[in-house]
Homo-oligomer: A and B are copies of this chain.
Amino acid sequence: MKNYMDELLKKINSKTAKVGIIGLGYVGLPLALEFSLKGFKTIGFDIDSKKIPLLNSGKSYIKHISEEKVLQAVQSKNFSATTDFSKLTEVDVIIICVPTPLTEHREPDMTYIVDTAKMIQKYLRRGQLITLESTTYPGTTDEVLLPLFESPASDNEKYVVGKDFFLAFSPEREDPNNSNYTTSTIPKVVGGITPNCLEVALALYNQVIIKTVPVSSAKAAEATKLLENIYRSVNIALVNELKMVFDRMGIDVWEVIEAAKTKPFGFNAFYPGPGLGGHCIPIDPFYLTWKAREYDVNTKFIELAGEINTFQPYYVVNRLVEILNSHKKSIKDARILILGIAYKKNIDDLRESPSLKLIELLISKNALVDYSDPYIVQLPVTRKYNFNMQSVELTKENLKSYDSVVLSTDHDSFDYKFILENSNLIVDTRNKFNSLGFNSPKISKA
């Protein structure tokens, strides 16, 4: 009888294993580059046919992922991209890096994972390792993926996990534009369905990641990623709540956070803002909330954090209305410029950006809204929004023409001195102006 495990381990350890990565976004693309640059033949799969020719010609469509690296990977002939999923039969390892968004009712949208898993089921052959990296609820790998792969469409026989094929969960920990850590230098948690699955998955990731962290099960690995993001979501919500409480008391939350930060143990600073953004923090925690209901338990912290973080754009708009009113101006017909559309500074990603919500709320109040963001020249159509808007140039004349600017995302490339000098009013959701030492009656915090 053939020992698929030994064979796969041998291929991995000799770098002759062929790696397939499904989903070439912020997670899949850097990972595919890591494998190919370490010498693994790597095929990138994506359903978005626009991405494929770009990548195959050595171009990057994500600003913080260097074009040079893509080009190098393509030229090495180790990397190629395709929309042809039948090539899944060619690879020894399949890594799933597809999105896990929420539906409009804040429930997990498992479409991408399920569709991908069915595609794999179609082509699965003995001796393959499949790992899932998408953030999801505990139990996904066991309950959604495993049953499909145990009954491959490509074979009449049942496959046995840990013997015929190997299945693991290993959460991505990408942090776009983090200058200290990149894909390969962030330790990676791995949980297998069986001990064999874990062993094979560890062998794989050890080839490209500085340190792997085995846990006892796939669901423990799934829970780990959720804990990391729930921690962030709750702590951001906590300072957002305290911002509103302290504001009433005439206390500047930013000053308080800076002072608390001087405690050399037991405190970690989080900062308030106009709301949560990005593909993780606003979304992932609710995967646990949803799953927990199956067990008759509530995740009260997650729901409270959601409530408070969701309220932040409304809070900013309320503050803006207050400030305009104190200058005898109404929000209706006021000209408002939103500075920064990306969900965090210095990146070009606007997924779940609170700036988009700000625009929506301001339009609903009949304000005249524009935005300026050097990273996002034109607002693309998103799942939720379709604003036909272009980034406004920050000239003297333009700035002067707005009743107020609202700093939503504090890109380093903004010229804050120039903005302050030429704006009528500034609503600063990031404490940026004060932290740069600028003080002016024009500036209000929100």
Contacts and interface: CB of A to CB of B under 8 A. Distances in A.
A175 B304 CA distance: 30
Contacts of A255: 215-216, 220
Contacts of A122: none
Contacts of A231: 235, 238, 260, 267-268
B291 A249 contact: yes
A4 to B, nearest CB: 28
Contacts of A244: 297
Most buried by B among A228, A248, A256, A300: A256
Given A227-B256, A255-B215, A232 B301 contact: no
A267 B268 CA distance: 9
Interface string A236-251: 0110011011101111
Nearest to A307: B300
B268 A186 contact: no
Contact of A181 (B216, B235, B251, B264): B264
Given A216-B252, A260-B227, A301-B304, A245 B180 contact: no
Contacts of A62: none
A265 B301 contact: no
Interface string A214-225: 011101110110
Given A215-B255, A231-B268, A256-B220, A238 B301 contact: yes
A259 B178 CA distance: 21
A288 interface: yes
A266 interface: yes
A230 B242 contact: yes
A138 interface: yes
Contacts of A257: 227
A202 interface: no
B266 A175 contact: yes
Given A256-B220, A259-B213, A264-B181, A297 B238 contact: no
A263 interface: yes
Given A187-B264, A251-B138, A264-B187, A234 B238 contact: yes
Contacts of A216: 252, 255
Contact of A228 (B232, B250, B266, B288): B266
A265 B235 contact: no
A173 interface: yes
A257 B220 CA distance: 10
Given A238-B234, A295-B248, A299-B241, A180 B224 contact: no
A308 B234 CA distance: 15
A141 B307 CA distance: 33
Interface of A: 138-139, 173, 175, 178, 180-181, 186-187, 189, 211, 213, 215-217, 219-221, 223-224, 227-228, 230-232, 234-235, 237-238, 241-242, 244-246, 248-252, 255-257, 259-260, 262-268, 288, 291-292, 295-297, 299-301, 304, 307-308
13 contacts: A138-B246, A178-B265, A219-B251, A223-B246, A223-B251, A227-B257, A227-B260, A231-B267, A232-B267, A234-B234, A242-B299, A245-B288, A248-B296
